[in-house]
Amino acid sequence: MLKTCLKEFFRCLFCAKRRLVFTEIEVDGIEITTKGIIMIKLELNQEVTLTLKPVDRRGNPVGIDEGSAEWTVVAMDVDGNEVLDALVLEVDPENELSAKLRSSGLEVTGVVTVRADGDPDEDEEVALIGTVDVVVDAGNAVALAIEAGEPTDV
C-alpha cells in the first residue's frame, strides 16, 4: 500500500499540467495559506481542514467536473501496517473541495489522496491526483506537574 501511495505521489509531482494543490489548511482555528502543502504534522487527537485548489499549469485557478472529487486516506504504524480509523477523513457535504482530517490517539504516518476529473465538460475526462503526507505523533511536554502522595509517619 505504501508503494502505491508513493508511486501516485511522485507521478503527481512529475505531471505538472495535471495537478491538484492543497493551498490552505486550518489547524485549531488558525488558517494557514501557502503556495503548496505536501506534508502536515498533527499531534494526537487534532484535526485539520484541507482545501483543494485545482490549478492549470501556470498556477491559475480552474474548475473540475462537479461531483468527481474522491478523497481517500491511508494510515500506517511504525511497522508499516495499515491502521484503520487512525486518520478519519470527512468530506464537506456542501463543498467537495474541502475535507476535515482528524487524528486519533495513535502515532501514524499517512497519505491523503484526492482524485478528480480536471475537465469540467462531460465529453472528456482528465484524471488529476493530489496528495498530501500526514505525520501524527504525540505532542511535546509543556509543563511538569508534581503530585504528592499521602504523608506517612517515620
Write down the domain spans for the chain: 2-137
Residue 139: per-residue pLDDT: 79
Q: What is the pTM of this model?
A: 0.68
Residue 29: per-residue pLDDT: 55
Residue 82: per-residue pLDDT: 93
- How far apart are alpha carbons 71 and 102 in whole angstroms? 14
Query: Hey, what CATH topology would domain 2-137 get?
Result: Immunoglobulin-like (2.60.40)
Residue 101: per-residue pLDDT: 95
Averages of pLDDT over runs of 10 residues in the chain (154 residues) are 47 42 55 60 92 81 86 92 94 94 93 85 78 87 88 92
Residue 18: per-residue pLDDT: 43
Burial per residue of 52-77, b for 16 or more beta-carbon CB atoms within 10 angstroms, e otherwise: bbbeeeeeeeeebbeebbebebbbbe
